Amino acid sequence: MITLQQKAYAKLNLTLDVLGKRPDGYHEIESVMQLVSLADDLEIDLETGEDWRLECDMPGVPTDGENLAWKAVGLYYKTLGKDPQGVTIRLTKRIPSGAGLGGGSADAAAVLLALNRHEGGALSERQLLKLAAKLGSDVPFCLTGGTQMARGRGEELSKLPAMPDCFFLIVKPGFSVSTPVLYEAIDAEESVLHPNTRAMEAALRKGELLEVAGYLGNSFEPLVSRARPELLAIRAMMEDCGALGVAMTGSGSALFGVFDAFDMAAMGSMKLMEHHQTFLARNLKAEEL
């Protein structure tokens, strides 16, 4: 038996602009994405000689073929034309579900990275990205990380200058949001918030953290905040604690604040953890994967 280990890192959407519905039924987006240090731990046993199993310490996470990590193992070895001779996957979850942090996508990307390393780089990065896109729109970004622009459904990636070093306070309130329902809702909106993506790109090129934080934005956030005003209270608390900028990630429900000092982020976490899940993280560069 062979055991592989890999970190599965969460993502944040520094900007998320929903541009409209496409003929194929998906929505066209433009998003500046950032990998962060909040991570699940993944272990994969190969050649167990037993039926495939998935074990997870977080209730509610699928532990069968519906789990993206399981699907990633199957897709990888189908592509290689090999049989792993029995697989056990163990997931230690720290990335909360239903938060917009890409936890399932992160796990799938971690599987692809771990297996390809074990197989001596049998697939090129381009081939891995094709597999990742089949698994989900956020998986290609979680595979390559750093700071990138995502277009299309999220799978069309282009590298951006690394985000200046900073700290994030991520707050997950006690509710989640249905992504399909939210996309339906945004289609019915007369006026949609469109973040200034070009300004965000320019701020990253300048390496100015204060400017980067000032251009955070998410097309979905006004809709969710209207239905769940507690998000406004979380935002205000983070700003009071010194956040340079605050935004929702993905389709929610997590908000994140950008801080230039760890102690300020930690103070915000202390104030908010009584009523919400809180996580402290830093930005990761692509070479740290």
pLDDT, tens digit, 9 for 90 and up, residues 228-240: 999 999 999 999 9
- Check the annotation: does 99 bind a ligand: yes
Q: Is 97 annotated as a binding residue?
A: yes
Query: For 105-140, how does the pLDDT look when each residue is reduced to its tens digit (9 = 90+)?
Result: 999 999 999 999 999 999 999 999 999 999 999 999
Q: What is the mean pLDDT of the chain?
A: 97
Answer yes or no: is 145 a known binding residue: no
pLDDT at 60: 92
More confident residue, 277 or 287: 277
Q: Establish whether 227 is an annotated binding residue.
A: no
| pLDDT recorded at residue 220 | 98
Active site residues: 11, 138
Looking only at the bridges linking them, the beta strands covering 2-21 and 156-159 are unpaired
Q: For residue 253, give the DSSP letter.
A: S
- Cβ atoms of 15 and 32 closer than 8 Å: yes
| Spatial distance between the Cα atoms of 262 and 254, rounded to a whole number of angstroms | 19
- pLDDT at residue 26, rounded to an integer: 87
pLDDT of residue 25: 84
**pLDDT for the residue 34:** 98
Q: Cα–chain-centroid distance for residue 175?
A: 18
Residue-level pLDDT at 289: 85
Neighbours of 269 (CB within 10 A): 19
pLDDT value at position 267? 97
For residue range 166-184, what is the model confidence (pLDDT) as tens digits?
A: 999 999 999 999 999 999 9
CA distance 202 to 225: 28
